Amino acid sequence: MEFTFTVNWGDTDAAGIVYYPNYYKWMDNATHHFFNKIGHSCVDLFDKQRVGIPLLETHCGFFSPSFFGNEIVVTSGIEEIRNKVFRIRHTFQRGETKLAEGYQVHAWTDFSKDFPKAFPIPDEVRRALHEHMIE
């Protein structure tokens, strides 16, 4: 699944290169876009069911710099689905140039109680995630 955006001036450092923490922000944005597209908006999940997908682990490798005004395409896909967690991979490209690639591991979590607790990913969501599995 693809998510496209343009690099803003505030995303860059003094050298005019994208400051690396922004890739982690963009992975989060791409994950929310992904869930919107599969019909399970993170906002709706939290507002209506008190379900969230907190981050357990993340990693990003960098291959080529990006700059103010660049249009970046993030391609996202599911690498792994376990009982209560899933792993989503994000690849960042500018045209044919691979800029960065990373992943996030999220837990399917109930926030309705005093303390958040992971619980099994519902079958409906699991099926939607399976439709976007990658190797």
- Domain locations along the chain: 2-131
Q: What pTM was estimated for this model as a whole?
A: 0.94
- What value does the mean pLDDT of the chain take? 97
Residue 130: which pLDDT band, with cuts at 50, 70 and 90? very high
SS3 content of the chain, % helix, strand, coil (to 5): 25, 40, 30
Q: What's the rounded Cα separation, in Å, for the pair 57 and 87?
A: 9
Q: What's the rounded Cα separation, in Å, for the pair 40 and 19?
A: 30
Count of Cβ atoms closer than 10 Å to residue 71 Cβ:
12
Query: In CATH, which of 2.60.40.1080, 3.40.50.970, 3.40.190.80, 3.10.129.10 is domain 2-131?
Result: 3.10.129.10
Chain centre distance of CA 57: 12
Instruction: Classify burial at 38, counting beta carbons within 10 Å of its beta carbon; exposed 0-12, middle 13-18, buried 19 or more.
Output: middle
Residue 21: which pLDDT band, with cuts at 50, 70 and 90? very high
pLDDT value, residue 135: 81
